[in-house]
Chain A
Amino acid sequence: MNKVKGLKSKDLLGLKDLEIEEINLILETARSMKEVIARPIPKVPTLLGKHIVTLFYEPSTRTRTSFNTAAKVLSANVTNVAISSSSVAKGENLIDTVKNLEVMGLDCIVIRHSMGGAPHLAAKNVRASVINAGDGFNEHPTQGLLDIFTMIDKKGPVKGKKVLIVGDIAHSRVARSNIWGLKKLGAEITVVGPPTLIPKGIEAMGVKISYKLDEELKDADFINMLRIQKERMEKSFFPSIEEYSQLYGLNAERLSRAKKDIVVMHPGPINRGVEISSEVADGPFNVILEQVTNGVAVRTAILFLLLSGGRPGKRPAK
């Protein structure tokens, strides 16, 4: 666990901003952390005395618990703050909230927000490290990193591998973080979904677009199924859950046409019987629960890299 070098920024806001070396550093560190977590007593004193707060404007079980676990592996203290998104417009504004948290002596703010750019706004206004735990449709960098970690864990380097990302690309921060990270590492990405849920100009991010899941499945190495929200149906992005499921849902019959070593992924929470059938979600190709396990390792690595070594928080850039 020698710290060779660090991350360039005090914050982790997105995979868009990371250099390949930084991504590799996080992934390498996560491998060490996975070993630490597997020990009988999964605890090291590295971040003793550091204080982390999770500031969530959107509900989350997995991500928040994962960060809590990661912090505890490193012996950091954690405080959890939840703010209902309905009070965002009325309540204390974001900058005041994060400044208050900072002067309480917090070293790191893990923020989830329903609006893109919110963690960036926070990061500009505090010296503490800000980690983006999902901002609107923009990014979910720790999810992207744990997905990539899992892919490499299963099949080695992702360079040249074909990755399908299927579903609501338009409203997905998971898709964007996957695309930024995987493109940097040389993977080939195809986004698949109804045209209403493929955002304008996504080709500029270096991905292919397809509306035909069956055709794309034939030679895919990985398929990452995104959660579909009922709200999208209510807004006429597609006519019914049943039709969506028929066109873009992953079931055993469809999966039987894929390569024999395809890896099925899902960031969770899964809608059984909607974007993924139970048979597939629990079947031999899925790594969904491994993703969750790897998530703790990746988040432990990120906290370690951002907070260890007593590195002084840099002044915000602007």
Chain B
Amino acid sequence: MKSILIKGGRVIDPAANVDEVRDILIEDGKIRALGARGKGQEEAEIIDAKGLWVLPGLIDMHTHLRDPGRPDKETIRSGARAAALGGFTTICCLANTDPPIDNPAVVEYIVAKAKNEAVVNVLPIAAITKGLKGEALAEMGRCFAEGAVAFSDDGKPVMRADIMRRALEYARQFGVPVISHCEDAYLSAGGAMNESEISTEIGLPGIPSLAEEVMVARDILLAREFGRVHIAHVSSAASVRLIRQAKKDKIGISAETCPHYFSLTESAVREYDTNAKVNPPLKSSADVEEVIRGLKDGTLDAIATDHAPHNVEEKNIEFNLASSGLVGLETALALVITKLVETKVLTAKQAVEKLTSAPAKILNLAGKGTLKAGSAADVVIVDPKTEWTVDAAKFASKSRNTPFGGWKLKGKVINTIVGGRIVVRDGKLVD
């Protein structure tokens, strides 16, 4: 494998507490020494990164690929390509496939298929319960042995506190987190958007934000007693406050939010735009402000996409019937830069941390999310200043369900390098 020398870029590596102009040398699929000048430099491919950011490859700890089950919406291949274009070098795929990732065979299938067809690292998250039914534990140990990096029934809550208790206790032996999709299914039943003035105004059945918050509260209490919980896709102000307090109380909890929860409010659905239908639903501006505060003060550790591809048949229909979710891999970084860094909510280093070392830490991904010497050479080079317009038709994802179409964003991925191999060059996929 040819060496790569990335010259003159602003290297931002939060795990190493680095934010300065440096060169990066990649040899044999590894980062050689941060700042060192390698001896193989003569033959190295040189990438001029002047004026650009050089970051550890981004890690998305919340990606829905639709393989197995719905390859028309997304495959491991297409999802990985979308990830690479978005600057992600590692994506963690959730278990709500068909069949679900609730047994070692499906974990093995994903690992093997990813090896063959994915341009980025794909790490499966296995189910907490068999069939995501919330009734009986899935074979966590065997799934872990095949490569599962976390457990989650995401898409569905684990409604029974006793089952969640056992899951937290049992998962401790593997040292990987249980990721909770917080939604009280009785409170959310029948709802299509956030319950608010706007749901009342446009006559759609509402989901109270309490549906999320009561489960966040429950899971915090369970975590205090039984083991670590990671809260997925935090969208509400009260959830942020609960998590903030839990962290003060030294409870083993971590949390993520998604770009749409700091970029959009519920008014995005006012004209019945199903591309803005997502679960948990978009909330009020007060919720958005608290999510942003939570990102700033560290209550929310990570930013994940909740990339959820759906085809037009499931979106261009009545709002109540439309599937929930939006594709996020190809817009996440630009939304972070535009909405959080440009606005000075976060420094570039803080923002990068939430997309790299924070998820690596939550998921115990050794040698990922950093550019320290010896780490896997997963690197992304980003032009933080150039504005571009989101055009869903150009997505590498098989699905087009984005509410951000037409948005002008800053932050364009120029190169994505996975394990020392350039998979995106000049903003385009190599193959």
Contact = CB atoms under 8 A, between A and B. Distances in A.
A199 interface: yes
A299 interface: no
Contact of B203 (A89, A95, A176, A204): A176
Contacts of B319: 115-117, 121
A160 B206 CA distance: 32
A47 B204 CA distance: 35
A256 interface: no
Contacts of A204: 197, 200-201
A86 interface: no
B318 interface: yes
A116 B321 contact: no
Contacts of B318: 88, 94, 113, 115, 117-118, 121
Nearest to B313: A93
A136 B320 contact: yes
B330 to A, nearest CB: 23
A5 interface: no
Given A95-B316, A136-B320, A200 B202 contact: no
Nearest to A205: B201
A88 to B, nearest CB: 7
Nearest to B190: A235
Contacts of B206: 199-200
A135 B201 CA distance: 13
Given A199-B199, A201-B196, A138 B204 contact: yes
Contacts of B200: 170, 199-202, 204-205
A170 B317 CA distance: 23
Nearest to B189: A235
Contact of B202 (A95, A116, A170): A116
B205 interface: yes
Contacts of B170: none
Contacts, number: 74
A120 B272 contact: yes
Contacts of B272: 116-117, 120-121
Contact of A200 (B197, B316, B317, B320): B197
B202 A115 contact: no
A233 to B, nearest CB: 16
Contacts of B205: 136-137
A266 interface: no
Contacts of A117: 202-204, 272, 318-319
Contacts of A176: 201, 203
B203 A138 contact: yes
A176 B317 CA distance: 23
B317 A116 contact: no
Contacts of B320: 115-116, 136
B317 A95 contact: yes
Nearest to A203: B197
Contacts of B195: 200
A86 B23 CA distance: 63
Given A89-B321, A136-B320, A201-B196, A116 B204 contact: yes
A1 B202 CA distance: 34
Contacts of A147: none
A120 B197 CA distance: 20
A204 B198 CA distance: 9
A173 interface: yes
A205 B321 CA distance: 26
Interface string A175-207: 010000000000000000000000111101100
Contacts of B201: 16, 176, 201, 204-205
A173 B319 CA distance: 16
Interface in A229-284: none
A11 interface: no
B313 to A, nearest CB: 7
Contacts of B313: 93
Interface string B196-218: 11111111111010000000000
Interface residues of A, number: 27
B321 A135 contact: no
A202 B208 CA distance: 15
Interface in B172-212: 195-206, 208
A200 B313 CA distance: 31
A115 B196 contact: no
Contacts of A170: 200
A94 B199 CA distance: 22
A240 to B, nearest CB: 21
A202 B313 CA distance: 33
A209 to B, nearest CB: 12
A139 interface: yes
A137 B203 contact: yes
Contact of B321 (A16, A88, A120, A138): A88
B196 A139 contact: no
Interface string B298-328: 0000000000000001001111110000000
Contacts of A95: 316-317
B363 to A, nearest CB: 37
Contacts of B208: 200
Contacts of A137: 203-205
A206 to B, nearest CB: 11
Interface string A111-153: 0010111101100000000000001111100000000000000
A178 to B, nearest CB: 13
Given A138-B202, A139-B203, A115 B197 contact: no
A88 B321 CA distance: 9
A81 to B, nearest CB: 17
B274 to A, nearest CB: 9
Contacts of B204: 116-117, 136-138
A171 to B, nearest CB: 9
Given A200-B196, A200-B197, A204-B197, A135 B317 contact: no
A67 B313 CA distance: 32
A116 B203 contact: yes
Interface string A83-121: 000001100011100000000000000000101111011
Return the 10 tightest CB-CB contacts between A and B, nearest first: A138-B203, A201-B197, A117-B272, A116-B203, A137-B203, A199-B200, A204-B197, A115-B320, A115-B318, A116-B204
Given A117-B204, A121-B319, A201-B196, 13 more contacts: A16-B201, A89-B321, A94-B317, A94-B318, A115-B318, A117-B318, A117-B319, A118-B318, A121-B318, A200-B196, A200-B199, A201-B197, A202-B197
Interface of B: 195-206, 208, 271-272, 313, 316-321
23 contacts: A16-B201, A88-B318, A88-B321, A94-B318, A115-B320, A116-B319, A117-B202, A117-B318, A120-B271, A121-B317, A136-B203, A136-B205, A138-B203, A176-B201, A200-B196, A200-B199, A200-B206, A200-B208, A201-B197, A201-B198, A201-B201, A202-B200, A204-B201
